[in-house]
Structure 1
Amino acid sequence: MQHPKKKKLCKLSPNILVEAIQTFLEKEYDGKKYDEAERCPHCKSKNFYLHSFRKKTFCILIKENGFKEIDVKIGVFRCKNCNKFFVALNTPFYQGCKYGKPIVDLCLWMTASMPYNR
């Protein structure tokens, strides 16, 4: 049985650019907590409490020695009025998307500025 090939960094990208982006993502997002909420999105009540934190992968970096997951902690709140759960509002994710906002924005910008048919 063959083992999977080791992933390598893209040779087309300058190393200084790749390192700058990876360093920024590690410093800005790794282990950061998001726990801001103003009101329950279900009943609009301000009577809620922080129930727990959920770990979510923001992105996965390809490093020289393997992969590194950048994880963030998302606050999960529970409303005392309607007993429903909801997550913090200031998360770095678009609703229904499992990739971080900066990653999605970069992909959208790249597809708009450099379409596949050019």
Structure 2
Amino acid sequence: MHYWDDINLNLFIKGKEWTLYKDSAGLCPDIVASSQDGKSVLMWGTGLKDKNEKMIYEHDIASKGERINEIIRSGGKFLLKINGCWGMELDSSFEVNGDVYQNPELLEGAE
């Protein structure tokens, strides 16, 4: 997993395609991940941190009390999905438990 503040990391977006690459001192850039590689996903940050100061990203799996579900973007806001169609607005009391790509088992039994 790579984050926006990794050193020398650049993101190029054109239409629906994107490429994440490392700048290598004037040489050909090293491609780190791409929308075309079939195994990478671009996750947008919410700008918020959880109760442990961990950045929260869209499609993370987070919990608040007994509720655990996916972070979604709806109506320009980031929400904890509830009942599949609406959500609870995020704040710093949530805890990130994983993400839907690496930890799908965390969503078993979620609302």
Give me the TM-score of the superposition, normalised by structure 1: 0.19
Quick one: higher RCO (CA 8 Å, sep 6+), 1 or 2? 1
Rg larger in structure: 1
Larger relative helix fraction: 1
Give me the TM-score of the superposition, normalised by structure 2: 0.20
Larger relative strand fraction: 2
